[in-house]
Amino acid sequence: MDMARFDLNAVTAFVAVVEQRTFRGAARSLGVPKSTVSRRVALLEEQLGAQLLQRTTRTVTLTDVGEAFHARATLALSTLSDAARDVQQSEAAPRGVLRLTAPLSFAENYLGDIVAEFLRGNPDVRVTLDLTDRYVDLVAEGYDLALRAGELADSTLKAKRLGAGAFALVASRKYLAARGTPKTPQDLERHDCIVYAPTERGARWPLLSGRRVMPLPVRPRVAVNSFLLARRLAVAGLGIARLPARFSSELEAKGQLVRVLDGYAPPPSPLHAVFPPGPRLAPRVRAFVDLLMVRLDGLRS
């Protein structure tokens, strides 16, 4: 028998007839016409090449082969029902392992408290967090979710914008006293710069020129893939750094860092949650993104 053509509705109709003892009762329990039940049972017998039921005007009884088939069919339908219930329950509440990847510096500054809150509120979820600035292939590497800063390249992935973070150019008073304060973006060519790597390949910073954003070449004194370390190096007087404004605002208030070229402020960098393609998000992913939307409200723009 060709299992690809096996009709599960026919099996369900057969089991219902046995349980209800009549075709009419089976039709009533399934909510279909009696003729449909008769047709499905006849189809099943044709597919199996065997008579399953003895029919009289008043009664329906099982043949020997029908009795054997009924026992196994009932078990199979029960197993399918249990499987469907398990899937529905897993889709109803967050559970399982959430595999997440995010940029190192962003995660170090924002995700600790968010992940802790998420785990406290979802005891059936475990989190695997991979902090990296490389491009991660979500489908090939089996990730549920990626957080990505900057404009997204066209792809088949789904994305949800979480917000946009402003950037600032900052330096220490010590550095500016020794090297002078830049007045125009072109003045940066004469300054040491602390560059975030590897995303700023070619050492270009986007700055405003009129209404246009221009990628301006800068001279890296240091290239590092951590905004925390870049901030520390800026405080130490090693150059001008381009930092997320939230990273620098506290030290600006303390006088340890000073903004420069604020009139040419770099445009905010968008942050997206990116998912593999598919019709629905798993509850654990949806719940985490919902929490991100609330906790990153300050990044909304």
For residue range 196-230, list pLDDT tens digits in order: 876 545 578 888 877 788 888 888 999 988 888 99
- Regarding pTM above 0.75, the answer is no
For residue range 227-260, list pLDDT tens digits in order: 889 999 999 999 999 998 888 989 999 999 999 9
pLDDT computed for residue 127 by the predictor: 94
pLDDT computed for residue 123 by the predictor: 93
Q: Name the one residue in this structure whose structure tokens are 């026992």.
A: 71
Find the Cα–Cα–Cα–Cα dihedral 93, 94, 97, 100, rounded to 10°.
150
Average pLDDT taken over every residue of the chain: 85
For residue range 127-149, list pLDDT tens digits in order: 999 988 788 888 888 899 999 88
Q: Please give the domain boundaries of the chain with CATH numbers for all domains.
A: 3-87 (1.10.10.10), 96-158+277-299 (3.40.190.10), 167-267 (3.40.190.10)
Res. 4 pLDDT band, cuts 50 70 90 = very low
Which comes out higher in pLDDT, residue 66 or 129? Answer: 129
Distance from CA of residue 291 to its chain's centroid?
12
Q: Are 193 and 218 in contact (CB under 8 A)?
A: yes
| Edge-first strand listing for the sheet containing 167-171 | 220-224, 193-196, 240-244, 167-171, 258-260
